[in-house]
Amino acid sequence: MVDKPTSAKKSRSRKTIVPLQPEAFANQQLSLFQGFLANSESERELLSNAVDLWDNIPRYSVSRARMNSMRTADGFLEELELPFQYRGRKFTAVIHPARVNGKNGKRQSYYPSAREELIEHALRKISAEQKSGFFDQLDYRSGVVFSLHALRSELERQGHSLRYDEIIEALDILSLSTIDIVALNADGDEICTRSSYLDRLTVIRRKEYDADRNLKCAAQFHPLVTQSIDRVTYRQFNYQRMMKCRSQIARWLLNQLVLKYTQAAMLTPFEVYYSTVKRDSALLNGYRLERQAIAAVDDAWQELKELGALSSISKSERRSQRGKLDDVIYSLLPTYEFMAEQKAANRRQANSPNQQKKRDTISLGRGNR
């Protein structure tokens, strides 16, 4: 399944957005996606949408430092296979790296990583604004129209300042990297969806940006995001808290709480196993020692406590008869703030038309093989 790269291999080119009709910016499904349940405009500004399945895929799991150690002498990275589970079902994510110009002027391969993750979340937040997001039922696509200035400003507001060239490089990596999501159907046959992280992208050049910083770009989201908008399987969550997370593992754990700890209550602890975090996040694969990876998870839980998501964290170890550490079990209790957020997300989903019919549906959508 791994395709060995060669210097003769052609690079993929960015696909631009096909023109959109006005109704793509104003329809019921988009309105539901943009309509957060909040008591005030200031509360609404804190919110965005977590996407079922898509936000559980370990798609940003390799750090820049680890990439550097994995590249060939010619600057290539191989396709990366990452098995994971979601709602008891086994999947494999196969990431095909982007090939872009590096700082040294040479073309190099890149997997989408932490920077690209933050940019995707910022674009999704911008898409929740009226006249910025779109959902085209006929061509089954969704995305966002934005200016680079607005994107830079949004990232800066959340404590992640980036230069123009860094944003362009990250957008190129998102639009040129493809990801296969592979699973087995009920008959045991392999099914797969393949698409870029940003399925299509239209951006402006530097001289155009310097002349008018409000010129518009457009990005088309992954088909699983489109499917989630169509089926109303997303959940509102505290986007600002997620963007304040210092570590990727804390952001991943927060997404797990948002999407799975839906009945958060002070008398209902939520248990998470270290082995599950390691298997499904793929963010701990770079640690040389197990105790270092466990310490990183410990720090991430503490970070979420400091950010107001958790009120209590208890930890127990599961050991074999010979004393070998088999697993670590974390028992978590929410804050009243997180409980209120989850209750609001539940009410919003319950009030969505046809939500009962669409709930708990996992599908690989209409991606391309």
287 DSSP assignment: -
Which tens digits make up the pLDDT trace of 86-136? 988 999 999 999 999 877 778 999 999 999 999 999 999 999 998 999 999
Number of domains in the chain: 2
**What CATH number is associated with residue 278?**
1.10.10
Distance CA 236, CA 33 (A): 9
Distance CA 357, CA 353 (A): 9
Q: Which of 29, 78, 225 is nearest to 143 (CA)?
A: 225
- What 3-state DSSP class applies to 123? helix
Distance CA 228, CA 209 (A): 32
Mean pLDDT in residue range 164-186: 93
Helix, strand, coil percentages, rounded to 5, for the chain = 40, 25, 35
Q: Looking at the structure, tell me whether residues 323 and 187 fall in a common domain.
A: no
Q: Looking at the structure, tell me whether residues 263 and 140 fall in a common domain.
A: no
Q: What's the confidence (pLDDT) of residue 323?
A: 80
- What 3-state DSSP class applies to 6? coil
366 in Cβ contact with 223 (< 8 Å): yes
Q: What are 221's strand-pairing partners?
A: 198
Which tens digits make up the pLDDT trace of 262-283? 999 999 999 999 999 999 999 9
275 in Cβ contact with 327 (< 8 Å): yes
Residue numbers of the domain that contains 89? 1-239
- What burial letters (b/e) apply to 55-64, b meaning 16+ CB within 10 Å? bbbbbbbbee
Q: Looking at the structure, tell me whether residues 174 and 265 fall in a common domain.
A: no
Q: Looking at the structure, tell me whether residues 233 and 152 fall in a common domain.
A: yes
